[in-house]
Chains A and B, each alone.
Chain A
């Protein structure tokens, strides 16, 4: 079974600053996907970024980038130039490549962006 751990229950950052959210996971799988989702107060779960484990290059999406360390089983999310709209709960999630579309989520990190 897979487990996902987010060790930071809450974080805060000021507008325009950079923040990094941590995520570690445990799996015996070789091929898998990793995701970051955000859930703002509206509770809508929104995909932020996705990483395929077989890719060496770290994924980036505009202000969002990841630091994927496969050997260390670490998958952190960096948010640059933080904006008030980034305030949300952020979930790290794991999915096996083989098999079915099933996500295993971490407990989440609440990020508060202040002016």
Chain B
């Protein structure tokens, strides 16, 4: 099976712009989770989608949003970018139900905000 894919792999944006990141899960996986990784804060959970519904959300401002499509592909959007949004954004997919909760990660999207 193909693994989790994320596009683009690298992005450079300027403050105030918005950005959309995409994630394609492993075939058959219905859950997609997003995480932000920074040197200072480590890995932080953004949100999780299951069957097109947001099931859980982390403690991030409303500028961070996401959605999931009927084919389980997911996008996350960050509006009005700030310097502090520079990070590696990781997407992970899973079956989404116990006992098959194990998450498998994509290679990440490196976002740089100038």
> A44 — which chain B residues lie within 8 A by C-beta?
105, 107-108
A84 is an interface residue with CB less than 8 A from chain B: no
Q: Which of B43, B56, B99 contacts A52 (CB 8 A)?
A: B99
B45 is an interface residue with CB less than 8 A from chain A: yes
A101 is an interface residue with CB less than 8 A from chain B: yes
Question: Do A103 and B42 have beta carbons less than 8 Å apart?
Answer: no
Q: Which residue of B lies closest to A6 (CB)?
A: B42
Q: Which residues of A contact B (CB under 8 A)?
A: 33, 35, 37, 42-47, 50, 52, 91, 95, 97-108
Q: Which residues of B contact A (CB under 8 A)?
A: 31, 33, 35, 42-43, 45, 48, 50, 55-56, 88, 90, 92, 94, 96, 98-99, 101-105, 107-108, 110
**With A43-B108, A99-B56, A106-B42 given, can you name 4 additional A-B contacts, CB distance below 8 Å?**
A43-B88, A101-B94, A101-B96, A103-B35
